[in-house]
Amino acid sequence: MSQISFSTLKLKPGLLSNLSTLGYETMTPIQAQSLPYILSGKDVIAQGKTGSGKTAAFGLGLLENLNVKRFRIQTLVLCPTRELADQVATEIRRLARGIHNIKVLTLCGGVPFGPQVGSLEHGAHIVVGTPGRVDEHLRKGTLRLDDLNTFVLDEADRMLEMGFQEAVEDIVGLMPEQRQTLLFSATFSEEIKTIAQRIMLKPIIVKVEFKHDDLSIQQHFYKVDDNDQRLTAVRLLLLQHRPESTVIFCNTKKDAQEVADELHHFGFSVMALHGDLDQKDRDQTLVRFANKSVSILVATDVAARGLDIDALDAVINYHIARDPEIHLHRIGRTGRAGSKGIACSLISDKESHKVIALGNYLDMAIEGESLPAINFLDKPIFAPQMATLQIEGGKKQKMRPGDILGALTGDSGVAGKQVGKINVFDNWAYVAVQQEVTQVALKKLGQGKLKGRSFRVRLIRA
């Protein structure tokens, strides 16, 4: 498809001028195919992978449909995880910068309920949240959807996989029947079709095909006999390729935790990401992996959906994904933005049916390669270049990233280039620094002042 400019759309002048400021000139395929229907008020089902530009597609649609002068909740966006909800809310706020006084509120679990009630009492135009917490607010009467005109289900396939179907249907039951419904999903399963039939009116279906780019992603398939050999294979591949950032995908929470524990036992910098983690541990895990103070993330597909990781060097499939589309979604996380990536999948004779199905889907013959030489196990374990410091103060203490950077780089401090990502949450903050300046950074933050106050600071160890 040839590139189509956003200026061809009938959007509010404030939205168009802000898009230009953001550097959004031409539409991605999913935007070009879905936005005309969205702007005309149609219900739309759009299938596309993460990173396809879907948030801007529904974000522009709901903002165009918004009456700012009517201070009521007019849009609800449901996301499967808090991380994705935060990303979506941030993107909507960026898209809305050309329109004054739009209020976007996030309602997610893992954080106190009370402050959310206070925020709802002050009113909002757009709510972005997770099904469990939104359903809870509706049941307790702290949230009403009487004025809703746009409903968005983002990452609908993951929402159903995580068991949110009943909550979603309860939420839909409390909405006006006259509304626009937009459903975005990486896959289009029978479950998605079923729920779409129940909650949508004559939806337009838009599908953007995703095939991996052989130039940017090298795919390898390695034959293994049993689980013991799988663990050895993972170590061999990590020590041969020595990637700075790797995600290892497992099909179950149990496997994810066991693989992470085994790799930790051998000295790798690794953490697990799955549904049994509480919100604080999940936040910390994601922060440390994204800021490159942890090299390896072992995750389930559900937990990894919505990951906002810029440069992922390698993906390892501990087991073949249950669905070929999920396989493409996994490997598509590496080799982004023109960078090279590698995807390694471990296969056994017991998985021959899944291997055949995947080969048919990819239109390629999958042959198991030999694993790297066993003497790679003698290589030294590589360590991350960064370390993470946790500060016991955050947004509620008026902490900002600039305050932390200033405190670190002040008199006799560290150089700005030695400071990595800074993440500020409600009551704590994280900052990545290069390993060699960890002690200097600890001293600067621990003995100095932030916002005129002293805060406890600690190094998060592996």
Report d(CA 220, CA 295) in Å as an integer. 21
192-248 confidence digits (pLDDT tens): 888 888 898 999 998 876 554 444 578 899 999 887 899 999 999 999 999 989 999
278-288 confidence digits (pLDDT tens): 878 888 998 99
In this chain, the answer to whether the domains covering 6-207 and 217-378 adopt an identical fold is yes
Parse the chain into domains and list their residue ranges: 6-207, 217-378, 386-460
What parts of the chain have a pLDDT lower than 70?
1-2, 49-51, 162, 209-216, 303-311, 335-340, 462
DSSP-assigned letters across all residues of 64-106: HT--TTS-S--EEEE-SSHHHHHHHHHHHHHHTTTSTT--EEE
Share of the chain above pLDDT 90, in %: 41
- The CATH number of 217-378 is 3.40.50.300
**What is the Cβ-side half-sphere exposure of residue 75, based on CA atoms within 13 angstroms?**
27
Type of residue at 295: S
Fold of 6-207: Rossmann fold (3.40.50)
CATH class of 386-460: alpha beta
**pLDDT (0 to 100) of residue 307:** 64
* Claim: this prediction has a pTM higher than 0.75: no
385-414 confidence digits (pLDDT tens): 999 999 998 888 888 888 888 888 877 788
Identify the CA nearest to 244 among candidates 379, 341, 124.
Answer: 341
